[in-house]
Chain A
Amino acid sequence: MLRLPQFQVESPDTVEGVVAALQRHAGARVIAGGTDILPNLKHFLDTPPVLVSLARVTALRGLQRDDAAGLLRIGAGVTLTQIAEDAQVRALFPSLAHAAGIVASPVIRNMGTLGGNVNLDTRCRYVNQSEFWRGSIGGGCLKSEGNVCHVVPKGRNCVAAMSSDNVPVLISLDANIVLVGPEGRRVLPLADYFHADGVAHTLARPGEVTVELQLPLPAGPRRARYTKWSVRRSIDFPLLSVALRFDLAADSPHAEVLAAKVVVGVLGAKPRVVTRLDEALGKPLSDPAVARIVSEATHAQCKPLDNVPYEAAYRREMLRVYTRRGVEAMVAEG
C-alpha cells in the first residue's frame, strides 16, 4: 500500500484561475489525469502543499482544425484515448494517433491527457522507486534526495529519460506548445521546450501551465510513423522510441523523399533530432538504401544510457533495428 503525502486540492474552472492558484501557493503542482504525478507523489519524490486540478477547466478539452491558421489545435486536457480515436487526428496525423493509442494501457489512456504526457516527468530506474528502495542504495540520487548519479558515476547532471511516447512524434510533426503563466501566453516550438537536465527538463517557468499543442496541417504528401520497443507491449514505458516523418514528392511509397525527420526518445532528458539525413533525400522511400541510411544515422548519433531497464548497448543495437523496421513498415503499408 502506497500512501500519498498530505496536500490540499484546488479546482479552478478557468486557465486564469489555475495560474492564480499556482501563484498563490509556492511549490504547488498541477494535476490533470494524475497517472504520472500520483505514483511519483506516492513514492515521495515531491511533497507539494497544494495540487491545482485541471479537472474543471473545460477550455482545455477542445480539439479543432483551424484552417485559417493552418493548424490542428489539441487542448492539453484532451485524453490520449480521445486523440487515438479522433477521426481528424487519424486522417491527418496517423503517427500521433498511433503513439497516443499505445501509451501504457487502455485505463491509463482513458485518464492521461496530452498535456500531461508532454510534461511527463523524466524517468530512471534509480528514481521511480519507493522511498525505502532509494534509501537502501545510499539515499537517492540527483533527482531524488541524494547528490550522486548512479547511471553516470561522478556525473553532475541528471540523465533521467524523457519517456513520453507522444513527444518524439509531436516534434517530428513540428508541433508548437502553448503555455500560459503569470506573464501571459507564449508559443514555442516543442523541439525547443526540452533541455538536457533530468531534474528540470522543460523550459516551463514556475507558474506556467500547458494549455494547447498545435500541429501544422500537412502541406503535401508524406508518411509518418511511430515505433517503440517495450517489454510487454502494454503498461510499460518505452525502452526506446523513434518517430519518423518523410515528406514525399507524390502520395506513394515509391515517390522521392523531399525531407526526412527522425526524433528519438528515452535517451537522456531531452529527445534527440537525428541530423545528417541528406543522403536519403531524392531517393524513393521504398529504396532499401533509405531505411539503411536513416537507421545507421540514428544508431550512430543516439547513445542510450543505463537509466531504464535493459543494457544500454543492447538498446542502442535495437535502435537501429526498430528504425529500419519502421521505415520498412511505412513502405509495406503503401
Chain B
Amino acid sequence: MSHLLLSMTVNGEAVQVAAPAHHTLLEVLRYKLDLIGTKQGCDKGDCGACTVQIDGVPQLSCLTLAVHAVGRAVTTVEGLGQQAGGCHPLQDAFDRWNAAQCGFCTPGILLSAEALLRRCAGREPTRLQVCEALAGNLCRCTGYTKIIDAVLDVGRQMAVAAAASAGEVAHAE
C-alpha cells in the first residue's frame, strides 16, 4: 500500500503526513495526528460527529478524502480552544448550560455552531437559524434544547459585544 505525503494546515500548524490515497481526513486526523477530539460515528454522513471546518466551512471529515484537504486549512475541536486562547466561548457556554451529556456529538456541534456565529458577524442568530445550522449533527442524549440555548447564549453575548464596540467607535468619533 503506497503512501502519499500530504501537506495541509491543521489548527494553524503546517503539517505533513503520509497516508494512503484511500484514507479519509477523519482517519488521518484521528490515527495519524492523534487528534481524537473529532469523533468517528456512522462513517457515512448520517450523524455529523466527524464535522471539522475546512477553510472555515463545516464539512464531514469521514466523507472527505485526505488528499482533498491538501493545501487547505483544517480546524478541529482541539483548534477551537487554541483559537480562543484556552477555552472558546462556545465551549464555556456548553459547560455552563450542561449542553453535553455523553459528549460524542459535541465536537461536531461546536464546529457547526462556530461557523454559524462567524457568519452572523455580531448579529444575534434566531433559534430557527441555530436549529438549521445544527440540523446535520445528531445528538441522542440531550434533545437539543440545552445545546441550542448554549449557542443562543454565545450569540447574544457576541451581539452585545459587537454593539458595545460599535458604540465605542461612534463615541470616539
Contact = CB atoms under 8 A, between A and B. Distances in A.
Given A53-B65, A107-B51, A234-B135, A6 B57 contact: no
A9 B59 contact: no
A34 B138 CA distance: 20
B135 A4 contact: no
A235 B46 contact: yes
Nearest to A39: B44
B117 to A, nearest CB: 14
Contacts of A310: none
A64 interface: no
A234 B136 contact: yes
A34 B135 contact: no
Nearest to B136: A105
A39 B45 CA distance: 8
Contact of A2 (B43, B68, B112): B43
Q: What bracket does the count of chain B residues touching chain A fall in?
A: 20 to 34
B159 interface: no
A146 B57 CA distance: 40
B20 interface: yes
B21 interface: yes
Nearest to A8: B21
Contacts of A4: 22-24
Interface residues of A, number: 30
Interface in B12-59: 20-24, 40, 43-46, 48, 51, 57-59
A109 B48 CA distance: 12
A111 B60 contact: yes
Contacts of A7: 21-22
Contacts of B62: 38
Contact of A105 (B40, B48, B67): B48
A127 to B, nearest CB: 13
Contact of B65 (A2, A31, A42, A105): A31
A38 B68 CA distance: 13
Nearest to B51: A107
A55 B51 CA distance: 19
Interface of A: 1-2, 4-9, 11, 31, 33-35, 38-39, 42-43, 51, 53, 55, 104-108, 110-111, 233-235
- Going nearest first, the 4 A-B pairs with the smallest beta carbon separation are A105-B136, A234-B135, A39-B44, A107-B136
17 contacts: A4-B22, A31-B65, A34-B65, A35-B45, A35-B60, A38-B63, A38-B65, A39-B44, A51-B65, A53-B68, A104-B136, A105-B48, A106-B112, A107-B59, A107-B137, A108-B63, A110-B59
Interface of B: 1, 20-24, 40, 43-46, 48, 51, 57-60, 62-65, 67-68, 112, 132-133, 135-138
